[in-house]
Amino acid sequence: MPPLSDKVEAQAPGQVPSQDSPRVPSPRRAQVRAQVRVQAEDFDVGAEFAALTAGRRDIGGVGCFVGTVRATTGGPALEALTLEHYPGMTERAITEIVTKAERRWPLLGCTVIHRVGRMVPGENIVLVLAASAHRQAALDATAFLIDWLKTQAPFWKQESFADGSATWVEAREADDAAAARWGAR
């Protein structure tokens, strides 16, 4: 077995690690603890962070993204955002995205929670935590996960406005461009 490396080569978005890149050997990678949840209830970021890192001494960094409902989207004031999904299908799609991140970076743990149902401005929508021995892997994996969740996870979003109108949210080119920087889907 090769010696454990305490250094992981920094990877630009979309760069696939080479076979020569120093990586954490597969026995260590078997310790990945991924959690994927789709739920209506809010989540506690601190509690989720504590659960991911509890008793771990191998984690050197945790990338974190918390998405919240904005009050405005460029038009009238937003009253609520409603997210719909197909139970089972959505969790499988998110799990596939997490698996892709685990293959690209030496993750030691990962938590992805996405809310569904009606949410008002200021409420949490999504949490992504990616743990690794090294900060860059944790940060890159977090960015990858949120970019791919925005474009590949099967959610349908409806915005409801204070004037009583509502509209379904269309895919945005900016989200597709952000996901594309990571390479082939």
Q: What is the DSSP letter of 126?
A: E
pLDDT at 3 over 80: no
Domain range for 52: 29-180
pLDDT (tens digit per residue) in 103-123 = 999 999 999 999 999 999 999
Residue 22 lies in a domain: no
Between strands 124-132 and 107-115, the pairing is antiparallel
Residue 15 lies in a domain: no
Q: Read off the pTM.
A: 0.79
Domain count, the chain: 1
pLDDT (tens digit per residue) in 13-42 = 444 333 333 343 333 444 567 999 999 999
Residue 70 lies in a domain: yes
Residue 1 lies in a domain: no
If one counts every other C-beta atom within 10 angstroms of the C-beta of residue 29, the result is 15
Rounded distance between C-alpha atoms, residue 34 and residue 109, angstroms:
5
pLDDT (tens digit per residue) in 33-85 = 799 999 999 999 999 999 999 999 999 999 999 999 999 877 788 999 999 99
Residue 114 lies in a domain: yes
Question: Does residue 183 or residue 107 have the better pLDDT?
Answer: 107
Residue 115 lies in a domain: yes
Between strands 107-115 and 34-39, the pairing is parallel
Torsion-angle region of 181 (φ positive above 0: left; ψ -120 to 50: alpha; else: beta): alpha
Residue 12 lies in a domain: no
Rounded distance between C-alpha atoms, residue 183 and residue 75, angstroms:
33
CA 105 to chain centre: 14
Residue 131 lies in a domain: yes
CATH number assigned to the domain comprising residue 45: 3.90.1170.40
